[in-house]
Structures are given as C-alpha cells and as structure tokens.
Structure 1
C-alpha cells in the first residue's frame, strides 16, 4: 500500500465546453494572442455533485459521470499520523495495512476480492492528515465494493489477529527500509526534527520509527480502530456511472447499520517559526551535493497558500523558473532544481532543492541560491510568470482529472474538500483563487513567510551514520504458505463472529467497447493512427519513431538520451527559455522519451490551443539546434544522472543484469534507463547528436498516434500543415541489429557490494525463447499467479507470509525482440539468502508439481475481463494501447477480443505455457546489498557467487 501525498485536486471536466481549436498554421502572434484565457478555463470547470448524511454520521458525496460503465469508490478517514501519540508513531499507516488483511465477513487479503471484481486504481494511502482507501470498479461490481468497504469500517475487530499484526509490522518495516535505503532517504527525518518543536503533531514521519512499530500490540491497534474509524469520522465519495438516487439505498444497505464512533478532532497545529536560521550538513552515499531550503507555511485552507504555491512555481516549478534560468542555464552550477509547496491540512512545506553540479563549489551555489530567493521576494514575479504558472497548473489538472478516481481524479477533489474544508466545492474556490492571484499578492506572502528564519540542509557525499534497525525477530508470525479464498455458503471462517453478512454477487460485466481506430496518411507518407475520446478538451499526440534505447550505438550508449534531452532546449528559431515559456503559456506538455524499442515525442494539448501547440511540437522535432553550449550543459546533467544511478540500489541492479543476460553487444544488453555510460557520454559531440537525429528522427521512420476530442477530418489538416512537407535527409535510415546472439546462460549469483544497505535488491533473469511480436497472452496470464500480481505466490510468500519484503514478483518483460523473464525482490538484508531460496522454491513448484489451481484460473479470468473498462477510462491509456498494438503487431480490435480469449483459457494451457519456457535452473541472480551481511547467507544456495564492488 502506497504512502504518498495527494495534491489537492482543483478542477473538473464533467461539463466542459470550450471554443473550437485555433486555425491551422496561424501566423506569428503576440505571446498570448489566440490562447484560451486562464480565467475562462477556471470559470467553466465544474464537478456537479449531490450529498447526504446517514443517521450514523457517514457523509456521502456522489458525482455522476456516465462516460464509462465504472464507479470510483473512495473512503477518506479523518485520521493520519498527526493524530498519533508519543510512542505510537507509524500506527495510522500500520493500520492502513491491517485494513487490507481481511474483515469479519470478508476474510483474507482484500486484494483478492478487489482483483476478482475487476477493480482498477485500487489502493490505500496514509499521510499526516488522513487515511484513504479507493478503487474504481465496473458498475455491476459496485455492491461488492460497497460491501467490502463497509465490512472493514464496521466489522473488522474480529478479524484482527496477532499473526496479521506481526506480518504487517514486518511489511511496514521493509517499506521503511526500502525508502531509507535510497540516496537522500533519511532527509525527511532530519527536516521534521529541525522544523517542528517537541510535541508538534507534524514532527514525526508517517512511516514511524522502528522501535514504535516493534512495540505495537494487538490491543493497541484494536483501540486505534475503535477510536478513529467510525462512520462519523469518514467521507464516502462515489464518482462515475451512478446517481445520488441510485447510490442512497445502496449506501444505507451496506453502511447504515454501523454504529457511530468517537469523533476524531485533529489537533490544531500552529505554523512554527524557527527562532534563528538553522543550518545542518548530512553525509550520505550520494553522487551530488544537494541543497535544501525549507520553511513551514500555512496549510491548504489558508488564503496565503495559493500565492505561496504560485511563488514556488515561479521560483523553481516552471521549466523556465528563476532557478532553472539562473543556476542551470546561465551559471551552469546546478544540474537540477525545484521548488514547490507541499500542502497539508494545518501546515505546508515550502521547499527548494538544488543539485550542485559535480566539481562546483557548493558554498558558491548556496550563496547564489539565497540571492535568487531574496531577489524574487524583493521585486516580486512578473505578471507573465504568474500567468504561466497558473496556466501550467490548470492544464495539468484538466488532463489529470479525466479519471473519476485513482490517486488524483474527481473523487479526490470532492473528498479532500469535504474532509478538510467541510465543503466538496472547495476545489472550485481554490481554483478561482489561482485565477485571481496577482504578482503583488505573491510577493507579499513570500515576503511574510519566507522572510522568517530558514532551515538550510546540505547533503554531501560520504559515509552514513549507523542505521537504526528494528529489534531482532523471526521475520514472520508463521512461515506456512497462506492461500486466500472466499468462504463457502454458510461457512464461518472467522470465529467467533457477531454475525455473517452475505457478500453480494457481481453482475454481468459487458465486454469492452474500445474506441474505433481510424487510419490515414500525410502527403509524405507518415501514417496517422487515431481514436476519438471527447470526455475532456485535450488532444494527445505521440510522434513515434522506430528507434528506442536499442538504437543507441554499441560503443556510445546514452547518445539517444542526450539527443532527446536537447530537442526542447533550443531550435533554429527558439532558445530553451522561449520554448519553456511557450509551453507554459499554452498549457502544453511536450515530452521526448524512449522505451527499449521506440522513441516518441509526445504532446498533451488543450484543444483551444492545439494549433500553436502543434507548431511548437513540430519545431522541436524537426529543427533542433544542438547548440554547442547546450550540448555541454545537458551532457553535464546526464553525467550527473549516471552518477546518481550508480548510488541507487534499484538502478545498480537494473544496470548490472542486462549485459549479463544479453551480452554487451546486443541492443538489449545495456541500461534500461538509457542514460548510458559516463565514458561514452563524456565524448559525445554535437556531430554525433546531429547524425543520430538524422538517422532515426525522420519522416520515413515515423508514425503519428493521436487520441482527442476533434474529428479526424479536422485534425488531419493541422498535422499535414506541420509534418506533411517533412522530407527525409540524405543519410541512410537507421536499422537496429538484433543479430548478436546472447551468451549461453551461466547461472550464478552476482553480488554488488553496497555497504550500509538495510535492504538488498534482488533481480534475477533468463531469456525466453520468444519474441514480443509473438502471442504471449497465455504466458503473461500464467505469470500473474506466479509473480505478476499483488496476490501472486511470490509476493504473498515474501510479503504477507514471511514479512521480509514490501513487494516482490516476476514479469515477462515485453519488448519487440527477445523477451526475458525477470524476478524482482527487495528484501531486508538479513533475509537475502532465505528469500532467494524461497523464490527458487516457488518457481520450481509452479513449473513442476504445483501448477495453477482452478480458483487461481478464475481469478485471472475475472480480474482481466472485468477491469477493461476501468483500464481504458482515460485518453492516455487509449493512446498507450494504440502504440503497443503497433509495436507488438496486434490487430486494432485486440482489446475488444481479449475478454473472450481470457474466458477460453484453461488450467492446462496456462501450466503448459509456463512450463514450456520458464526454467529456474537457468536464472542469473543479481543482488545489490551489503556483502558483509549478505555473502554468508549464500553459501547453501548452490550457485557460484561473484562479488563486485559498487560502481
């Protein structure tokens, strides 16, 4: 279960009507001429809703959105880590985990029934102010979802066991290790301790301390439930294919019998001010020195929040921010900068972050950073800067709120407003405040709040202090396998139990109606693949090239990444700042990127601003300047990125395994991040990048994929005007070479020594005798049971049974050519060897004497067929499907036919698919961890061990 902040959702598109798109190929114009005014966008957004309150105090908010046959179910509890007393830190988050471990009438892991009903975007999160649980379900499964949420709200205590508590303490402690193990992973603890006085509700982290988690008793957590989880302390939001009239009898049926509980009144937490500036230095295993400047500022309900948020955008949130322009582009003393306001109920954090360029004096950069902040406070932002911040924020939220649920959809906007402001319409008031904010207001609030003493933290490369580990424990309450199932009719699996509530049936879920796919060609032959989605006024375009990381020259890995990073950093007619400012005025997102097999420059544009957005996209793709000064700057940034990757345990593992499996000469035998190798990147010059662009980024190697709200007949002329006259250069088109045969498998363990690692990252892999263009659906379905799903055998064993990992699994890694089978298992360091053996045992059993069960097959079929409508709720998901269909040579109706294919699967066909190609004896294992702790555990694995130093 993820623990992350959810930014306040500010807008909706339920009934969004905007002007038509601008004309094709408009002439040069003033910066904002022809653009949709921000004020108009703000005034027109709306999330209509109705609400009612049950007699037990449960507040219910319903938003009707009939675009897809799905309903988002979101329950927000008015309890978070700021409600935890001393000595019980981490309890709110621990309890979030326990509420996924079964209730009195739905025993077993909650992910089981959620998967069975085809839920998408399902999870739970905890933060300082709240705990929430959410899922988007097919309309015929809504009653089942309401039953599950109501059962854990009202009927949980009988299902809380010491076994579950012990297991989940282990899981949470491994979640903590996983975060702490990352570079800069201990920064949050230092920040909170420095900024808040003893006893302040926000002083401790949500994840809690190892010691407090160790001390949690069963009675502690039961009392936490009694005190905090009553219906009168919650908000239930239903958003999607449902009306309030339909919702009320269902909510009464499932939640109406739950008695009221004590009302949780979160502490009034004052905004603290340091008595004097505070400076600290931390040492960590990091590649670059990072500077922080942090102030505690008012919470999200305070009128000062919006001007401060806009000020942070001007300072370091925009691509054209003050810090970017001064430290990254002009001074070139930093490789990355950011500034934002992280909002919470009572307080917020105004945080500035600067990564110092290696070799540059950090003191010099710190002085310049403070000077830039002081200058912004003294003179204030310009009107254009404020306008660009607001337009960027509004456009991002327009795109994001196409979803009804998930981490940031419309249900989130309504729930946050209801919970924190007692007003589901709070998002609208907040959005109007953004539309009205002025430069003077931004300056005034920054002067007031950033004029106070600052907390300045510097994290430098060096040895970490000793890590505070958990108390020794067996690692699990039980090492026996756990298998979850639904109770048979009349069976009482949890005794004693007050009573049994029947679990409602799931109605028939209709097959997916995937948008019709249309095709066309521009006059120069570029194919256009199009699907229409008119839910929001957004057009998504991906100009895709048959290149990818696999197209990198064998002796110069990282060439493509450097080339792509320069595309939006200057063209023959615009410099990098002008490009960034134009994107911000348009509210457009333009993102160059690459997978292993394809390269794409993607655009998400507001339909009213589509014309000028396409102008900018075409200029970036067709006319990059590759200015020598920009090449030097972006190369330094990429070298810093490589250095950072070599300090990150997951990145180290991901870099180590591919060349072992595929060999260094194979296109897939390189880092999947695409950043390349420092030695090669340091030698790249402008000519190398121009040559790569000419060979791969060209019209005879391109396909344009589009999903949007315009008819294709209206869209094609706009694409033709920007790309139809594009002609190939004289140099030959690039062709990837997959002829290099991978080496024969040499099963062994490669241990990368990373001292002071409280957790080991385990990767294992083998190359399958298959290609991604073959039909792999049956194999991937079989792997869902082995390791491809939260409920998979590997994850349930290492996480839920043994408590050694926050999450583990396996996957069939699809790509155009040879496909590998990959296992991933981050585990606590002292269980590394046993974890490898456990995974080996699971795989061996799966492909020999313990194949799929009928119940597991049913889970695969139900989950994959019922989730389709939720899976393709957004235009971004549809665009991704168009692109993957093309890459893997699937028919346009692939996703409409897939449900029937799942229904035709059998236990035998899935077993055969796995046993035919997965051979655990051929796996090569990579471990990134502390060799002193890990190596002795590997003696009895039965594989050769090769120890190498951290790169």
Structure 2
C-alpha cells in the first residue's frame, strides 16, 4: 500500500512544557488549578532517549537494536533505500508494485506472507511505499521472532524464483484498483496536478508513487525482476529490531537469517533540485465536490536542510494548530471558510509546503482566495509570535510520547531509528530535531518563510462541477533527472549471479518455517474500580511506559440518542461543546490545550458519547480543569453555534459526494428503517434539513438531557495512581449534580423492516470504481457472546486472508480490498459486506460474493486449515494487542459496555482454544442469511446497470444525493 509520509522524523518529542495562562485560571472547578512549574527545555529534550546498539553484516545490512521489555513482543522493521523517486522513464509505479509482489511469497515461503504472519499472531504488519523508501514491518510475539526474520530475509535474498507472470498480473490489477479507489474520491485527482504543475518534467518527485496505468500495464516480468536485482540488496537496507530483545540475541539471529544474502549494487544517488516557478501559476479543476477548495503549494527543502524545521513550525502556526492564524481569521472571525489546514509534507530531499481552504458555501471563492493570499503575505512578512512557536513545539510532545509507547507500527521507536538511519545516516537524528524544535526562534521561522515562501506559488482551485475527463492511462513523462538507466540502475541476471558467487554463505535450513515457541497468555493490567461521591464509577489501569494519562468520560448517549426527526443534534452539540465555556472563548480553549500539550476530543459511536483526554502527566491537573469546564459549562454561544452549524452542513454536503459514505447512508436506512436509531448515518452528521434548524437552546437542552453525571462512566489508563486520580476526579466530577430536567431516553421500539433482498443502484457518474455495500440485521445484540461468530467472520471476510478478499483481490484482481464485518451495536447487530471494485466488474463481483457466501454457509464451511489459521492468529496476537494505553483503554470501555468482567481478555485464549469448525459453521449459519441481503451499489449507471440486470434481484435506481 501507499502510505503518506510520517513526516520523516517530523514526530517530535519533549520541547517546552509551559505553565497555564492566566486565561485558564478562570476555569470553573471545585478547586483552584494546580500551578505547574515548567521544567527547563534543555532538560526535557535530554530526557527523550531511545537507547540502541548497531552493527553491520559483511553484506552491508545495517542493523539497529533497541531493548524494551514492557511486552513480550519484538518489532521488525526493514527499510529499503528505494522509492518512486528512483524510477526511470516508463517505469512509474514500479516501487509500489514491487512492494505488493514482496508479500506474495518467496522461494522458500510459498504463498501469501500474511498467512504465516497471521499464524504467529503478528500485529501492526504491513508494507508501504513513498517517494524515498519502501518499508516492511511487523510486531510479533518474542517466540515467533525467527519466523519474521525468516520471511524478511527470504524475500530480501530468495525472491526471484517465486515471482511469476501470474503473480505480476494479479498484483498489477490490485494496484490499479488501489489507484482507482483513490482517484474515485472527491479531490482525488489533485495530487497528480500538484506534482505536474509544481515540479518540472524529469524531476525525481514529479510523478505520483502509484504511477500511471500505462506504465503498470507495460511492466514485464523481466522488468520487475531487474527492479529487485537493482534495489533490494542488503547493503541498501536498514533492519531495526525493537522490543523484547538484546544485542547479543539479535546478532546471532540476524547473522543466521540474513548472512547468506549477497551484497547487491548500491542504489545510485538521486540528484534533487528545489525548483522555483518563474511566475505564479493558477489552475482550476472541476470535480464532483460539495465545496470549492483552494490549494497553495511551494516546493521547499527536505530533511537535511536547516530551514526544514522552521518551515514545519511556520506551517503549524499558519494552519496546523487548532488556534492557527487561518482558523482564527477565515473560520472563526470572518467565517469565509469551513475548514483550513497548512502543513509541511517532508521527504528526504524535498518537501511541500501546502495550504488548503474549503470555501464556505455561498461565499465568493475569489474573495476568499484574495483574502487567503493577503493573510499569508502578512504572515510571511511579520512572522509568528513567541507564544505561537512555543505552542507548535509543545504540540509535538504528545505526538512523540504517544508514538514512543509502541515499539513498531507506523510511528513507534523502530520508525524513529530507521528513518534517521536511512535518510541521514544517524539513528539519533531525532535528538537533533528535538533540539531544533526546542530552540527555533520566531526570527528563524520568519527568515525561512522569507527565503522560500516569497517565491511564486502554485495555486489550484477545485470547483464543483462534472469532473474533467478521467484518464486511466497516460504517458509517464520524460527521463527522471539524476537517474541513469542501464547497469547503474538495473543488473542483468549474469551480473547478479556474479555478485552472488562472491558472497559468503551461511548454512541455514530454509526447508520449512522455524518453529514457534510457547506464547504465554496475555497479562492484561489489573483494573480497579471506585465510585465518586455522586455515584459515578471510575475504572483505572496503571501504565507507566510513557508519562501520559488517557481518560475517557463515557456517556450513555451516542448517535442513537438523536430522537426521531432530530438527526444530527447529538453530533452538532458535541462539535459546539469545546467552542466556548462560560469563562473561556473557543480560541482560549484551543490555546490552553496547545500550551499544555493536551488533547481533548469529543466523539460519538452509535451507543456512547465519549469526551477523551490525553494529557502529559506533568500537566494533568490543569488539563483536567480544562476538561471539566468544557464538559460541564459549555456556553453554546450564538455566534459559535452558527459557525459550527455551517461547518457541519458543509460536512454533510461533502459526505454526500463520497462514495463510501453514500453507500453507508443508503444501506443503514434500507436495513434498519429510517425511524430506527440505527437506521441513520454512522457518521452521526445527520441531515441538512434538521441541522440547519438547530439553535443554541436545542443544543443546551440536549446537553442537559444526555451529558450529565447519571449517564457517566469514567475510564483512566496511564502514568498515575488510583489514589491520585480518585482525588483529582472527585474534585472535578464527584460533586457534579444532574440537572432537574429529565434524563434522555433512547427508544428502540421502531420495527425493523422485513428483509427485502434487492439492489439499490445509486447513480454517481464518472466513477472509475463501484462501491458495493451489502447488509442485513442479525437476530443478535451486542450484549450476546459473539466470539464464535466473529471468528467465523474472520474466515469469510474479516481478515486479509478471508475468502472474499482473497477471491476478489488476490485471485481475480478486481479490488484493492474486500471485507465483511459484524457491527457490534449494543441493541442490534448488522452484518455488512464492503467491496470497492473496478466498474467493469461490478456485476461479476456481486456474483462472486454471493457464491462465496453461499458456499461458506452451505457445503463448504470452515476447513481445518482455516480454523487453525484463525484461532492461532487470534490467540497469539493477544500478546501484542495491548502494548499501548490507548488499546487498554478501548478494551476496558468495551468490557463495560458489553457487561463483561475486566479480565475478560485473559479468558479469550481458552475460549478460542475450545472452538472447532463445527462451532464456527453453526454460529454463522444460524445468524447470517445471505439470501436476505440488501445490496447497495454506488457507481456510474451507464457502466453498471447492464451488469446487474441478470443477477435475479430487483433493482432500484436512485440518483446520488445532493
């Protein structure tokens, strides 16, 4: 898969922790805020450390080892110095295509790599490609480390014999469907225009990582094999092992598994210039979007430039903070826009400074465009304040601390070490970055902006209208600058054999996967429960890996609390809650969070409303003060509610342009009925006709009915003690009394309509892909024991290796990914199938899905192999599933919702071990009835309707909502 950059070392750690401002001192709480004395910035930066050791094999493989014993897991992360910037003319998309092929089996491990990884209980396993690199990663239980190293080494050194024309053709189809899936989204074609207009033809960053359809179509088997020979040598890779391992163990294992791989040719360095446009460039694109979106782009330096961090901070002040310049001016004050952002998208040798603004419906886009340019010009000329720079720096604290709680994945310690080693030849590059964030001054930010952002800008406006002609194939452009074709890039078979002949070999048995040692059951942290004076229950689990406390205030409300004809009141109330209290303005609330390094989130599921807090332990008291004020004292000011209502109306309009959202909305109402609490959009955004009428009084009344102590349960996980958190919560919430008004009540009396199997075709012209949703309401509730059913669904469609995904993605190549899901709502459980497919295979895909489900629920139930794979994976992954406090918090909340004991997860392995294929088959067959499914297809009627007429189901054709 393609994954946007993790802002390559842009996750930063301890900068300045600032004391609360005087504004926060006005928060209405039962006790005075605790004064936090800021520690010196220099000490905080020094406190961030990822100890490591490093060694290099004779074949050039660089290995980095970090020991972290908090969980019995090891993160394995392999980063290759090859990405789309290395692709020559006519080979765009090769790096990403080959990433897919690297999962399809090697010479000594035939079959999909996801199978053995799932068998051993791997978590966080994936592969990604971007301009500068390709990486593969997984976190495995410690006893399964040899399996992971076997797999990574086998595809590094023993792959070519397993790459076949059949696999190439299949994965080419998967990648092309991944491209269609991205292109099918609103604004989905902007990246192509950005790269084309900002960078000259032949520039290494000029083409998108996904590549062109034409180049993908033309890729031959020898082409991709040559790509491997030239790019995947051990001397072009960095391997990081982080977690339950030490250097001595790592050395022995890495030498064993990787020592026999011959050194390859070095990837040729790529020369990258930072281009400057000769003059401002403006471009207008049409797309099926709800609002005009304005973009501004500049090409600026990459990771190794001293200007990179000042530019990153400049973007944060301009449009990255909740209280950013653009938010305060365009969204809050002048209300010309409904959404703004600014960011520095950082790569190794080049970055993109990007601004985007969604114009408020009804406002002249040209007016907003001129105002945007004026704000940016004024900001560049005058620069940020010291307080703004400090808030941006502090915001990075939470990002890094939360990331460093994981050893692997997308943002853990392995990623920090690998990025520094690959891009800057320094695993500790993050420390230099921290110093820079802590010491960068407003003057440095201003100088960097003056140097780079006063150059001509590339401006794109995407306006509503029929999308410009979509091209599924096109020329890849000219020769890539700085890349030489021939031997410097590609090795022929003879050259590769010559290199291999000179390499020392290590005797290692690759005839079968290594055995997996005993994996102990999950040791879930103890959960303690206390009750506050007003009866509110508090559940606490102590975790001290990072100095963070996570807290959830869970109210028995959720989207289902919207009454009949009131769809959207819950969501709008949540959106307005943190937009002002009786003593703090919306800006003051945003700035207070930024100064504290705290994050307060307000969200809803179907059954619960959650106000979450992530706080640095050192700033827990004032963070709780702020949280309590937002929850108990929202002002619902007329001006703020008007602004938030307009933003929500814009979000609803945007939702109605997104194919997945259209399908979800259509299916929910079809299977539950429009009057049922679950027959509404799962986003919770509601409907425009209702939201447009909601007043501050409506939101205040809803708050009084649902956000109250008699509907509250509190969950806390993190770096504190029960006694300490009890005292803090008693002060803020223990004396909270419910209002005199009656508490809200949810009603589930609306009858669910009789299942009427049919196809609802939602016409969305110019769609290169069809989005298929199918569903039915099961005779089950979320309170039932659904463990057996969910395991059966893993086989059918719940995992990558499931039947329907392997059929439509891996066998047929018609989709980037297909799944089925058991949505565990509290009172009723729907079963759903989700399948985005290429438009010309819509009818065939529905036929294939119906066949797979009929066979699974009929004569071809769970096989012994599927049972072993599913049960082994579900049991063994427990060891790595609760590495973070966020995961622990989520499990505790689920246990409370479904009335399970808090040690439930420790009993799961035993329950799973007692299941057999008959049990899984029986559970699925008793509940899932595929002949009662309602099918929703969002696609181009002209392409799709002829494919549906022969499927034997009634067809309703409706226009896409507007």
TM-score normalised per structure 2: 0.94
Give the equivalent residue in structure 1 for 2:739: 729
In structure 1, which of residues 846, 871, 880 is the aligned counterpart of residue 856 of structure 2?
846
Q: In structure 2, what is the Cα distance between the partners aligned to 1:174 and 1:770? A: 35
Q: Residues 146 and 797 (structure 1 numbering): CA distance in 2 closer, same or farther, change over 3 Å?
A: same
1:429 paired with 2:439, answer no
How big is the shift at 1:8? 2.8
* Paired residue secondary structure (2:285): strand
1:131-530 to 2 correspondences below 5 Å? 131-469=134-472, 500-530=510-540
| RMSD across aligned positions (CA) | 1.8
Give the equivalent residue in structure 2 for 1:113: 116
1:599-748 to 2 correspondences below 5 Å? 599-748=609-758
In structure 1, which of residues 30, 48, 62 is the aligned counterpart of residue 65 of structure 2?
62
Q: Unaligned regions of 5+ residues in structure 2, if any?
A: 475-507
1:97 paired with 2:100, answer yes
* Paired residue secondary structure (1:926): strand
How big is the shift at 1:469? 2.2
Q: In structure 2, what is the Cα distance between the partners aligned to 1:769 and 1:27? A: 52
Give the equivalent residue in structure 1 for 2:477: none
Give the equivalent residue in structure 1 for 2:906: 896
Q: Unaligned regions of 5+ residues in structure 1, if any?
A: 472-497
Q: In structure 2, what is the Cα distance between the partners aligned to 1:753 and 1:816? A: 33
Q: In structure 2, what is the Cα distance between the partners aligned to 1:564 and 1:400? A: 27
Q: In structure 2, what is the Cα distance between the partners aligned to 1:407 and 1:25? A: 41
How big is the shift at 1:29? 8.5
Q: In structure 1, what is the Cα distance between the partners aligned to 2:344 and 2:140? A: 33
How big is the shift at 1:41? 2.6
Q: In structure 1, what is the Cα distance between the partners aligned to 2:131 and 2:621? A: 43
Q: In structure 2, what is the Cα distance between the partners aligned to 1:554 and 1:216? A: 55
Q: In structure 2, what is the Cα distance between the partners aligned to 1:694 and 1:543? A: 16
Q: In structure 2, what is the Cα distance between the partners aligned to 1:541 and 1:64? A: 28
What are the Cα deviations for residues 730-765 of structure 1, in whole angstroms up to 9, with x where unaligned?
Answer: 111111111212000000000000000000000000
* Paired residue secondary structure (2:918): helix
Q: In structure 2, what is the Cα distance between the partners aligned to 1:40 and 1:546? A: 43
Give the equivalent residue in structure 1 for 2:480: none
How big is the shift at 1:4? 2.6
Q: In structure 2, what is the Cα distance between the partners aligned to 1:184 and 1:818? A: 36
* Paired residue secondary structure (1:106): coil
Q: Does the CA-based 8 Å contact 1:36-1:608 persist in structure 2? A: no
Q: Does the CA-based 8 Å contact 2:185-2:659 persist in structure 1? A: yes
Give the equivalent residue in structure 2 for 1:80: 83
Q: In structure 1, what is the Cα distance between the partners aligned to 2:372 and 2:360? A: 13
Give the equivalent residue in structure 2 for 1:484: none
Q: In structure 1, what is the Cα distance between the partners aligned to 2:579 and 2:44? A: 29
Give the equivalent residue in structure 2 for 1:818: 828
Q: In structure 1, what is the Cα distance between the partners aligned to 2:12 and 2:643? A: 39
Give the equivalent residue in structure 2 for 1:486: none
Q: Does the CA-based 8 Å contact 1:631-1:686 persist in structure 2? A: yes
* Paired residue secondary structure (2:798): coil
What are the Cα deviations for residues 259-291 of structure 1, in whole angstroms up to 9, with x where unaligned?
Answer: 000100331201111111101000000000000
Q: In structure 2, what is the Cα distance between the partners aligned to 1:320 and 1:240? A: 37
Give the equivalent residue in structure 2 for 1:779: 789
How big is the shift at 1:449? 0.4
What are the Cα deviations for residues 554-583 of structure 1, in whole angstroms up to 9, with x where unaligned?
Answer: 111010111001111100000000000000
Q: Residues 836 and 781 (structure 1 numbering): CA distance in 2 closer, same or farther, change over 3 Å?
A: same
Q: In structure 1, what is the Cα distance between the partners aligned to 2:535 and 2:348? A: 54
Q: Does the CA-based 8 Å contact 2:150-2:257 persist in structure 1? A: yes
* Paired residue secondary structure (2:946): helix
How big is the shift at 1:468? 1.4
Q: In structure 2, what is the Cα distance between the partners aligned to 1:18 and 1:752? A: 52
1:867 paired with 2:877, answer yes
Q: In structure 2, what is the Cα distance between the partners aligned to 1:195 and 1:405? A: 34
1:522-601 to 2 correspondences below 5 Å? 522-601=532-611
Q: In structure 2, what is the Cα distance between the partners aligned to 1:356 and 1:200? A: 32
Q: In structure 2, what is the Cα distance between the partners aligned to 1:656 and 1:129? A: 41
Q: Residues 336 and 17 (structure 1 numbering): CA distance in 2 closer, same or farther, change over 3 Å?
A: closer
1:786-825 to 2 correspondences below 5 Å? 786-825=796-835
Q: Does the CA-based 8 Å contact 2:66-2:243 persist in structure 1? A: yes
Worse-superposed segment, 624-633 or 265-274: 265-274
How big is the shift at 1:672? 0.2
Q: Residues 153 and 469 (structure 1 numbering): CA distance in 2 closer, same or farther, change over 3 Å?
A: same
Q: In structure 2, what is the Cα distance between the partners aligned to 1:368 and 1:914? A: 58
1:914 paired with 2:924, answer yes
Q: In structure 2, what is the Cα distance between the partners aligned to 1:296 and 1:40? A: 35
Q: Residues 500 and 896 (structure 1 numbering): CA distance in 2 closer, same or farther, change over 3 Å?
A: closer
Q: In structure 2, what is the Cα distance between the partners aligned to 1:18 and 1:141? A: 44
Q: In structure 2, what is the Cα distance between the partners aligned to 1:7 and 1:549? A: 34
Q: Does the CA-based 8 Å contact 1:94-1:169 persist in structure 2? A: yes
Q: Does the CA-based 8 Å contact 1:762-1:827 persist in structure 2? A: yes
Worse-superposed segment, 712-721 or 614-623: 712-721
Q: In structure 1, what is the Cα distance between the partners aligned to 2:930 and 2:80? A: 45
Q: Residues 376 and 10 (structure 1 numbering): CA distance in 2 closer, same or farther, change over 3 Å?
A: closer
Q: Does the CA-based 8 Å contact 1:13-1:536 persist in structure 2? A: no
How big is the shift at 1:18? 14
How big is the shift at 1:384? 0.4
Q: Does the CA-based 8 Å contact 2:313-2:445 persist in structure 1? A: yes
Q: Does the CA-based 8 Å contact 2:34-2:621 persist in structure 1? A: no
What are the Cα deviations for residues 337-387 of structure 1, in whole angstroms up to 9, with x where unaligned?
Answer: 000000001000000000000000111111111111111111111100000
What are the Cα deviations for residues 662-682 of structure 1, in whole angstroms up to 9, with x where unaligned?
Answer: 111110000000000000000
Give the equivalent residue in structure 2 for 1:757: 767
What are the Cα deviations for residues 210-257 of structure 1, in whole angstroms up to 9, with x where unaligned?
Answer: 000000000000000000000000000000000111100000000000
Q: Residues 18 and 878 (structure 1 numbering): CA distance in 2 closer, same or farther, change over 3 Å?
A: farther
